[in-house]
Homo-oligomer: A and B are copies of this chain.
Amino acid sequence: MASVTIYDVAARAGVSIKTVSRVMNKEPNVRPAMRDRVLQAAGELGYSPNLSARSLAGSRSFVIAVFVDAALTIDHWRSERGADYLSRIQLGATLECREAGYHLLIELIDHEGPQVRQEVAALLAALKPDGVILTPPSSDNPVVLELLDKAGTAYVRLGPERAEGLGPRVHMDDVDAAREMTEHLIGLGHKRIGFIVGEPRYGASQARREGYLAAMKAHGLPVSEGLVRQGDFTFQSGVAEAKALLALPDRPTAIFASNDDMALGCVSAIAEAGLMTPGDISVAGFDDSSSARFSRPQLTTVRQPVAEMSSVAAKLLIARAKTSEAERPEDILLPFELIHRASTAPPPR
């Protein structure tokens, strides 16, 4: 109950508290003999330095915070669906933190409305985290970035849309990934390829459409009216837009959806229309979510290195906290991977 403090350890080892502090922090200038005595005393007492005291007295807090959009999270909660993307991010970062003796704090941010400024400022003042991992749409929020800069808090932007000197980021090339997937479809022989755009608030949505358009153009394939549909990343919107695509006078032989949920919606709409995937219409997704693997047919999709991204981000932040004020890390680009599964095939006939 009455916790053991640095004084207890010092007393038992017969040294000053400063020496204990040095040993616990692996600072130099401690003779091996001293160090062993301290370590033994600490071990016997089961001593573990109090985080609050450390961060209050020192310059580090041993805490990395992850900023996550509140609205999205609440949506996921309502629908009782786990947020696949979010949980992957946490896995990567948590593991990295654990190894370094850091702790990961999940913070929900309300990005809409005027209170962002106050909310984030309060968070930074209260927590004083050593680093913040920004997930979309935080990665691109100017207010968040400004406050972080003002507070002098290190951060890494995960998969942001905009680049221009807004701070270090860890990301993948969405344009390229979408281009490659489109080219895979073209390579299969498809000429009319429908595209479903994701929720416009996300930078990735624009990037993926851009990649699709680039590939179509590069191969001289016309993108006729109605072939590009606006979705919102939900299964429902996938169903709706697939129906619209199927109703086209010259309906596509393949659909590329900006995420797996929408792609699965397409598969469902296609089946409902009495058609087969991929026999009649091929479908490609994006994300490699767990449902992509367990659906029938299993989805051809793009694997994003999400866990790796957050793992790298945490690593950067922790390294920077250690050396305090290291050089700003540059952008880090992680490779994606096309996952070829059963939902894409050559067009009929």
Contact = CB atoms under 8 A, between A and B. Distances in A.
Interface in A219-244: 235
A313 B235 CA distance: 31
Interface string A86-124: 111011101100100001111110000000001001110
A235 B294 contact: yes
Interface residues of A, number: 68
B294 A264 contact: yes
Interface stretch (A12-20, A45-53, A165-173): A45-53
A46 B121 contact: yes
A52 B296 contact: no
Contact of A121 (B48, B68, B98, B121): B48
Given A51-B126, A107-B103, A152-B1, A290 B82 contact: yes
- Among the interface residues A52, A84, A108, which one has the most CB atoms of the partner chain B within 10 A? A52
B105 A77 contact: no
Contacts of A83: 82, 87, 91
Contacts of A92: 77
Interface string A67-90: 010100110110011111111101
Interface in A314-330: none
A271 interface: yes
Given A87-B83, A88-B80, A94-B73, A1 B151 contact: yes
B126 A50 contact: yes
Contacts of A151: 1
A303 interface: yes
A273 to B, nearest CB: 14
Q: What does DSSP make chain A's interface, helix, strand, loop or mixed?
A: helix
Interface string A285-312: 0001111011110000001001100000
A56 to B, nearest CB: 4
A81 B73 CA distance: 18
B288 A291 contact: no
Contacts of A80: 88, 288, 303, 306-307
Contacts of A123: 48
Given A77-B307, A82-B84, A307-B80, A108 B95 contact: yes
Nearest to A339: B80
A139 interface: no
Nearest to A75: B91
A105 B104 contact: yes
16 contacts: A4-B125, A46-B125, A48-B123, A49-B126, A50-B56, A51-B128, A52-B56, A73-B95, A76-B91, A82-B87, A82-B289, A83-B91, A84-B290, A94-B108, A103-B127, A268-B294
6 nearest A-B residue pairs (beta carbon): A87-B87, A82-B87, A48-B125, A82-B84, A48-B122, A291-B291
Interface of A: 1, 3-4, 46-53, 55-56, 61, 68, 70, 73-74, 76-77, 80-88, 90-92, 94-95, 98, 103-108, 118, 121-123, 125-128, 151-152, 235, 261, 264, 267-268, 271, 288-291, 293-296, 303, 306-307
